[in-house]
């Protein structure tokens, strides 16, 4: 390694390799040429991620003719329909994030105390991946098959138990139904996000706590709880944005009206544009960006703190 | 290391020597309580997760007068719209995987080896789609797609153009998977070795680095496939008939068949993810082998 006489052949790709490609000092900054190779990546993201975001942002404060205006943003604060949609979206996201974090956290604990390479864990991780990230429309159908008017559970209560419980399936199509279905995909997401943090709790800490006479309660109160608190809070925020941004499940389940903000935006996209309101959809989208960015910034800050223990 | 290994077993017995009756009994009781709690939690929450899936299976196999049959599953392939949707989604998935790998792997390897200070920027950009809801991207990309539809002829209006957005949507997940692959090897040394032996950059990346991170690449690809097959928001709002859009539309006419397709798709995705959890290191548990260069973060 030291003073190696082997100089790499520069011929093969001299443009990319730069002047001093001895490799050993490759971590040093060596001219702008190295950055050129990153152009395709940045160009692609610029075109398909940054540009759409800019179109939304600029469109939110311009008229159809291109002049500056605040008329698109105003309805977000004055129009009862939009205010209501934002409020309901936030309520839904908060409720399902908390429910998902609590149940998902418990489930993660139950899984993590088992064999790390065991079947249970592998099955749970794979199933969680499917349910948390793949669901959308299909999960709405799953709940229709279970709790819909001809669903398994509905018919079971009606025909077998003869109990007048859950027999009116219309609850599924309301905000309550949405909350139940959302919680369904929040739990597995919590498992995916929280499992690595629980893995970070070392066996030695349990043992140290136990050998000092600590029981389960004092372990969680003084050791596990404080260590996991940032991860848990971070996961909670991630679950919030997940529910807040969700569209597919709600679109598949709710066919009348647009009670939440993502459905409102969808309706704006699909309906005929009212003159002078062409850009209201963009303003609503901007409102979503603002809320999600705030939450994700808090998430990033918390995550930095959480990673102290997790690694 | 050996101390920590032994301590888990040793601590209770040591405890028992000091205060025999009380300590060991309490520890054992605690373990038993823990096991009971785990079983209760698993049964309740796992049961909640499984119930709707079981209901799908039950619903989709209903026949006349309480009989069971698989007619709904057989009907999947005789429905032209469904076959179309499945084909379209599979094609988009294949294109997305290819595009994602081509975009991500060289960029990430290059960043690690040549411009480490850009690593945070690349990471930030890759995780950014998590902070921009899919529906917001649709709102913003609508004009771009309208332009493509008008100016690029048939290709511009094809559902396969969804690939462009899907690559963006899968970025956060694919980035993490490939990143955990890259972290588990010493990219700089491998690159230096390959380059000093005369390999060109493309050859270094595709013949030296890629085989060494195939676990990460595999899980990135599978996650991308699963996400594309499940994507609804963007295709429905841009009016492309992908699998999920067809399932949704079919649900209004023939719920039995559409529940059958949905169940089959979920099972398919589950098998995919389960298989990669065997092959890919750090597919779902990347933290366990996070190596030495952590201080950089």
**Which of A55, A125, A184 lies nearest to residue B277, judging by beta carbons?**
A125
* CB–CB contact A311 B287 (8 Å): yes
At CB < 8 A and 24+ separation, what contacts does B204-207 make? B205/B105, B205/B106, B205/B109
pLDDT value at B60 more than 90: no
Give the containing element (helix H, strand E) for A304: helix A280-310
B23: Cβ contacts below 8 Å, ≥ 6 apart:
B12, B15, B16
The nearest alpha carbon in chain A to B161 belongs to A48
State how far the Cα of B142 lies from the Cα of A77, in Å rounded to an integer: 25
Q: What stretches of A113-212 show up as alpha helix (H) in DSSP?
A: 119-133, 137-147, 152-155, 175-199, 203-211
Positive or negative, the Cα torsion across A269, A273, A278, A279?
A: negative
Identify the bridge partners of residue A62 per DSSP, sorted by sequence position.
A68
Mutate which of B23, B24, B52, B276 to test chain A, going by most A C-beta atoms within 10 A? B52
A291 part of contact set with chain B, CB < 8 Å: no
B111: CB partners within 8 A, 6+ apart: A38, B118, B119, B122
CA A198 to chain centre: 19
- Of A38, A125, A151, nearest to B111 by CB-CB distance is A38
Interchain CB distance below 8 Å, A129 and B223: yes
Residues in B closer than 8 angstroms to A136, CB to CB, are 230-233, 244
Complex confidence, ipTM: 0.79
Asked if pLDDT for residue A22 goes beyond 70, the answer is no
Q: Determine the distance in angstroms separating the CA of B52 from the nearest CA of chain A, rounded to an integer.
A: 5
**Which of A39, A141, A173 is best to mutate for the B interface (most B CBs within 10 A)?**
A141
| Residue pLDDT, tens place only, A182-221 | 999 999 999 988 888 887 777 778 778 878 877 777 778 8
Question: CB of A210 within 8 A of CB of B12?
Answer: yes
pLDDT tens sequence across A237-274:
989 999 999 999 999 888 778 888 999 888 888 876 66
| CA B214 remoteness from chain centre | 15
B176 burial type by CB count under 10 A (0-12 exposed, 13-18 middle, 19+ buried): buried
Q: Which of B81, B97, B76 is nearest to B241 (CA)?
A: B81
Which of A126, A136, A244 is the closest to B244 by Cβ?
A: A136
Q: Do B114 and A37 touch (CB under 8 A)?
A: yes
Query: What pLDDT sits at residue A75?
Result: 80
pLDDT confidence bin for A276, thresholds 50/70/90: low
Q: Which is nearest to A277 in space by CA: A61, A57, A63?
A: A63
The model's pLDDT over B194-219, given as tens digits with 9 standing for 90+, comes to 989 988 888 888 888 888 888 888 88
Task: Quote the minimal CA–CA distance from B19 to chain A in Å.
Answer: 11
Partner residue facing A204 (CB), from B4, B45, B106: B4
Report which of B182, B200, B217, B201 is spatially closest to residue B98, judged by C-alpha positions: B217
* Alpha-carbon gap: A187 to the closest alpha carbon of chain B (Å): 9
| Residue B68: strand pairing partners | B62
The structure's pTM equals 0.80
Please give the Cα distance from B201 to B4 (Å, whole number). 44
Within 8 A by CB and 6+ apart from B222, the residues are: B272, B273, B275, B276
Positive or negative CA dihedral for B260, B264, B265, B267? positive
Question: For residue B76, what is the DSSP state?
Answer: G
Chain A segment 14-53 residues within 8 A of B by beta carbon are 16-17, 21, 23-24, 26-27, 29-30, 34-35, 37-38, 40-42, 44-45, 47-49, 51-53
């Amino acid at each position: 390694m030291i003073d190696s006489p082997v100089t790499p052949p520069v011929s093969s790709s001299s443009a990319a390799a730069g002047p001093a490609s001895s490799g050993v000092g490759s971590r040093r900054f060596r001219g702008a040429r190295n950055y050129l190779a990153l152009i395709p990546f940045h160009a692609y993201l610029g075109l398909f991620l940054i540009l759409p975001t800019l179109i939304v942002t600029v469109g939110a404060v311009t008229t159809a003719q291109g002049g500056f205006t605040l008329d698109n943003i105003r309805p977000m604060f004055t129009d009862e329909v939009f205010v209501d949609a934002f409020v309901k979206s936030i309520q839904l996201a908060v409720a399902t994030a908390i429910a998902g974090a609590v149940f998902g956290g418990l489930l993660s604990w139950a899984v993590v105390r088992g064999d790390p390479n065991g079947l249970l864990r592998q099955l749970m991780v794979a199933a969680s991946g499917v349910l948390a990230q793949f669901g959308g429309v299909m999960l709405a159908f799953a709940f229709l098959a279970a709790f819909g008017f001809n669903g398994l559970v509905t018919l079971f209560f009606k025909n077998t138990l003869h109990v007048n419980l859950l027999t009116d399936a219309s609850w599924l199509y309301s905000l309550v139904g949405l909350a139940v279905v959302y919680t369904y995909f929040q739990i597995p997401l919590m498992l995916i996000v929280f499992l690595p943090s629980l893995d970070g709790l070392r066996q030695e800490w349990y043992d140290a706590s136990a050998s000092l006479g600590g029981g389960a309660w004092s372990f969680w109160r003084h050791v596990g709880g404080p260590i996991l608190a940032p991860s848990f809070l971070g996961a909670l925020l991630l679950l919030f944005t997940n529910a807040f941004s969700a569209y597919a499940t709600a679109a598949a389940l709710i066919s009348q009206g647009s009670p939440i903000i993502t459905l409102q935006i969808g309706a704006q996209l699909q309906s005929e544009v009212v003159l002078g309101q062409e850009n209201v959809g963009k303003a609503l989208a901007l409102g979503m960006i603002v809320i999600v960015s705030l939450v994700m910034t808090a998430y990033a800050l918390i995550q930095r703190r959480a990673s102290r223990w997790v690694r | 290391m050996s101390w920590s290994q032994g301590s888990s077993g040793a601590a209770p017995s040591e405890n028992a020597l000091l205060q025999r009756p009380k300590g060991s009994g309490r520890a054992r009781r605690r373990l038993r309580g823990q096991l009971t709690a785990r079983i209760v939690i698993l049964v309740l929450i796992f049961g909640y997760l499984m119930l709707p899936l079981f209901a799908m299976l039950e619903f989709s196999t209903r026949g006349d007068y309480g009989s069971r049959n698989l007619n709904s599953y057989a009907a999947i392939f005789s429905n032209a719209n469904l076959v179309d949707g499945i084909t379209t989604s599979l094609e988009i998935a294949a294109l997305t995987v290819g595009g994602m790998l081509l975009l991500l792997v060289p960029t990430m390897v290059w960043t690690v080896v040549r411009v480490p200070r850009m690593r945070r920027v690349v990471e930030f950009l890759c995780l950014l789609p998590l902070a921009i809801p899919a529906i917001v991207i649709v709102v913003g990309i609508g004009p771009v797609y309208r332009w493509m539809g008008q100016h690029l002829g048939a290709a511009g209006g094809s559902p396969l153009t969804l690939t462009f957005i899907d690559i963006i949507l899968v970025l956060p997940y694919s980035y993490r998977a490939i990143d955990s692959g890259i972290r588990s090897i010493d990219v700089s040394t491998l690159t230096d070795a390959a380059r000093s032996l005369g390999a060109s950059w493309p050859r270094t990346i595709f013949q030296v680095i890629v085989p060494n991170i195939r676990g990460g690449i595999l899980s990135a690809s599978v996650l991308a496939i699963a996400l594309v097959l499940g994507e609804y928001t963007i295709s429905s709002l841009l009016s492309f008939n992908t699998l999920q859009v067809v399932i949704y539309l079919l649900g209004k006419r023939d719920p039995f068949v559409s529940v059958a397709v949905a169940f089959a798709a979920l099972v398919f995705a589950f098998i995919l993810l389960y298989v990669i959890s065997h092959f890919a290191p750090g597919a779902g548990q990347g933290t366990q082998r996070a190596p030495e260069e952590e201080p950089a973060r």
